[in-house]
Amino acid sequence: MSMVIRDAKSEDAIESCEVMRRSIVELCSTDHKDDPEILSKWLANKTPGIFRIWIARPRNNLLVATRCERVVAVGAVTHDGEITLNYVSPDARFRGVSKALLAALEDKAAEHGCTACKLSSTETARRFYLACGYRETGRPNGRFGMDSGYPMSKSLKPGSE
């Protein structure tokens, strides 16, 4: 079953939001600790309407990874190289989807002239990003009332990692 990574479309909104919400609830319990207040804040903008706004936002690339025409991951990167979304369906975890989507996001950033990507990692994804060449650049920023939110960056220049 081959994977396709492509630009998100408006009709992907409902399925993509389901993937993001499931990823947060099911995979990121280390971060949200099943705290309803944290979950509410984190999930608040994972709606089809906001997803469609993200698609239309200038200087933003919203991508989906699909298998058998089903969305299995969602990612976004700005033209300034900030990765703002990178969520995988619990059903597709540990199958190379996140790594392929991250590479596609980095490629989009490079297409826009970026020499580095930056992001804020959850505790759950921290080891993944470190293994993909990202380096921590500061203290956790505590997004959504959590202790995590590790600022990280990676050079996109060949041979500079």
DSSP output for 16-64: HHHHHHHIIIII-HHHHTT-HHHHHHHHTT-SHHHHHHHHH-TTEEEEE
* Contacts for 58 with CB less than 8 Å, ≥ 6 apart: none
Identify the CATH number of the domain in which residue 107 sits: 3.40.630.30
Pick out the chain residues at pLDDT < 70. Answer: 1, 142-148, 158-161
Number of domains composing the chain: 1
Q: What range defines the domain where residue 128 resides? A: 3-155
**Global pTM value:** 0.90
Which is nearest to 28 in space by CA: 87, 95, 105, 83?
87
pLDDT at 1: 60
Q: Please give the Cα distance from 15 to 51 (Å, whole number).
A: 10
pLDDT at 147: 61
| Residue 15: inside a domain | yes
